Homo-oligomer: A and B are copies of this chain.
């Protein structure tokens, strides 16, 4: 069943395998007359691109987006926006080591079980390469949400956590270091740790936090399509994500109602914001904040025992250039998915009342 579309009104459908001809997508439902700055889109793509710093994969992919339709003289026309990102060097790789081998904690085995066939080249559709298309669409969604500010950053790498609350952070620091952690000192420790991990041929997990400011009130469609439910789905659909919490999250479960309730100011804002900007599934105008858990990358530069498609035990080792830790490059993806949800719910809310 189709699972490659996201959104109801601002709707992205994507295609493409890691090492096929190209990846890309169609954005249907973007309101006409929106000014679209394609340079901003490319800038966001560049934040996700392999090879951008010394702590991410050193693969070479220029990741240049080409728009094919739906934009005319710098504006959206209301018709679908088609785009492609060509895959560089897609024919030159040697995949004999994974053709019949199931890499541990990858999707090789499950794709074979589900589809009975698998494009094994570079992980095919299960590769995180497809998230580049999300970044393209998310970047246009951000342009629709002119006044909304979406800032994601790395909040932990392994056991190294950013200790400061998000109200104390300066988001302009995020892009100043390769980890994308808005605290120079913590970022530096994280960077050092990632390099250590890589030198051991190992990988490590981490978390990304996202803060959204200036959200219009009223976004969210109870009862099943609550705003945080869709944000959760959006984040959980990103490769390697294992968890999502918003507002007080898991820590909030330990609290009493008398501590947890957010009391109102006269203007409808709240004195605290343990609700995370969403009440009853609908935005209340306060900051939305949430945290996303990323597992360690499964591809190791170490030998691992595994099985092949015949059920035989074999040994394998990751080849090529992989991320030792995914969270620095995940930051723009988290932002993109958040933007897609908000743009879609912003448009959905246009018909909530007469």
Contacts and interface: CB of A to CB of B under 8 A. Distances in A.
A243 B242 contact: no
Nearest to A253: B205
26 contacts: A1-B29, A1-B221, A2-B28, A5-B28, A13-B28, A15-B28, A15-B68, A15-B69, A15-B81, A17-B70, A17-B77, A21-B68, A33-B353, A72-B119, A78-B352, A107-B280, A107-B282, A130-B223, A158-B255, A204-B256, A237-B281, A242-B250, A244-B245, A252-B296, A253-B296, A261-B300
Interface string A9-22: 10101111100111
Contacts of A312: 266
Given A109-B279, A222-B126, A353 B266 contact: no
Contacts of A351: 1, 9, 29, 31, 347, 350
Contact of A68 (B22, B225, B284, B298): B22
Q: How many copies does the complex hold?
A: 4
Given A78-B117, A262-B104, A204 B257 contact: yes
A274 to B, nearest CB: 8
Contacts of A3: 28, 220-226
A225 to B, nearest CB: 4
Most chain B CB atoms below 10 A, which of A102, A230, A262, A348: A348
Contact of A13 (B26, B69, B197): B26
